Amino acid sequence: MMRRPLELLLLGVVSASLACTPGSAPRPAPTDLLEEQERCVAEAVARARDQVLTLEFTPDEGASARRVATGVVVRDDGRGRDVLSVRVAPPPSGAPVVARDAEGRKLLARWVADDPETGLTLLRVDDDPPRPATPLLPLPASPPRLGSHVLVIGNPFGLGHSVTRGSISGLDRRLDLGARPLGGLIQIDAAFHPGDSGALVVNLRGEWLGLVRSGLAPPGADAVRDHDLGFALPARDALWVADRLRTRGRVDRAYLGIRIALRPSNEGPGAVLDSVLDDTPAARAGLKAGDRVVTFDGQAIASPRDLTDRLDRTSADADAVVDYYRGAARDRRIVRTASRPQAEREREPERHAAVKTDDPRVLKERLERLERRIGELERARPKDLAPPQEAARADSPH
């Protein structure tokens, strides 16, 4: 006799969780939960597709084939739209970047700036005549969770605004995708194809989670491939990069002049400074080798990777509060960050030139990919199997 009321109660609870628009009031309990979920997904897809542009461009001077990619609108002022994509090279003279919206309208995009460390490229689409600005997608109130479902809106093989369902299969991934390791990535389990670089990743409520940065193919795989693991930059990081590319023309990241010990500390969480370079922001602030940093600019630092990632998301010429332990005593210093030396800001070696599979550059890329994979396996090896000299190694200067 109690079974039916319990079913109705559960139906109402599940229905309340299916409020389609973030912040909207829950709808009455539907008679068909699957139908309600599909309706919510359809609404999320419609909102997300409006924020995606497909891109077509010529990668290099003299290249005969044009490339396709995906762009995400990160700013809309009615007069034009700022669009963020991945590894769109400055077009040769007279070769436009062609963008298309969800309605198929052809637009012209101009190249603004790029960030070699993340591979992100900022483009600008001017609207003439001006039009009403479209609201941007909201960001989620809480971090993404493992196993949760996502929608990917991309441009596979030029088939614009295609929608793929997937799931989050990893968080806080760290890969060598450019001049420096890139951390904080979201691992997406879905089918990815050429043209999905820069694809939009949203949850089933239409909240923006990230932007597809790269796929990872097995060593030796051909350049054209599908069903790779996808790795997305979190939306907040992408917006941070876009803001700096828009206002400064480049991303000037924080530099302290420290080397971070990769070994974990026996004294507790944090990042131990292996050394402090002379005449650098860290040295001028009074930091010393052996200090264990536990917070940076209000963010807890639990591991060396946390400090590295935090510096990658901090601007140069900014004041940051550093809490650290020197022995058993806790102290605090204010550090004025500087710009990273030029050697620390080398351009990303990846280029877009079309090459044959037997080209030496392809062989080199495959070898580098294999070396990266071996390095990942080495880092994932249990600590008790790690060679002693590896545990004492320090990270590159930051």
CB-based contact 234:388 (threshold 8 Å): no
b/e string for 106-126 if b means 16 or more Cβ within 10 A?
ebebebbbbbbbbbbbbbbbe
Q: Is the pLDDT of residue 385 over 50?
A: no
Alpha helices in the chain (DSSP H): 3-16, 33-49, 235-248, 281-285, 304-312, 360-380, 388-391
Q: Per the omega criterion (within 30 degrees of 0), is the bond before 269 cis?
A: no
Torsion on CA atoms 389, 391, 394, 396, rounded to nearest 10: 100
Read off the pLDDT of residues 28-48 as tens digits, 9 standing for 90 and up.
Answer: 555 578 788 888 888 889 999
Read off the pLDDT of residues 107-155 as tens digits, 9 standing for 90 and up.
Answer: 999 999 999 888 899 999 988 787 888 888 999 988 889 999 999 999 9
pTM for the model stands at 0.73
Read off the pLDDT of residues 37-96 as tens digits, 9 standing for 90 and up.
Answer: 888 888 889 999 999 999 988 876 566 678 899 999 999 988 899 999 998 888 777 678
Q: Is the pLDDT of residue 301 over 60?
A: yes
Q: Using pLDDT thresholds of 50, 70 and 90, give the confidence band for residue 213.
A: confident
CB-based contact 234:212 (threshold 8 Å): no
Q: What share of the chain is helix, strand, coil (3-state, %, to 5)?
A: 25, 35, 45
CB-based contact 147:168 (threshold 8 Å): yes
- The set of residues, in sequence order, having a beta carbon less than 8 Å from that of 342 and lying 6+ positions away, is none
CATH 2.40.50.100 fits domain 253-338+355-398: no
Q: How far is CA 278 from CA 129, 151, 260, 334, 392, in A?
A: 55, 49, 15, 17, 21
In whole numbers, what is the pLDDT of the chain averaged over residues? 78
Domain 149-245, CATH number (from 3.40.720.10, 2.40.10.10, 3.30.70.980, 2.60.40.740): 2.40.10.10
Domain 52-126, CATH number (from 1.10.510.10, 3.30.390.50, 2.60.40.420, 2.40.10.10): 2.40.10.10
What are the structure tokens assigned to 293, written together? 């940093």
**Residue 271 pLDDT:** 92
Per-residue pLDDT, averaged over 215-222, amounts to 46
CB-based contact 165:190 (threshold 8 Å): yes
Q: Is residue 344 exposed (0-12), middle (13-18) or buried (19+ Cβ within 10 Å)?
A: middle
Q: Is the pLDDT of residue 232 over 90?
A: yes
Q: Is the pLDDT of residue 322 over 90?
A: yes
Domain segments of the chain as ranges: 52-126, 149-245, 253-338+355-398
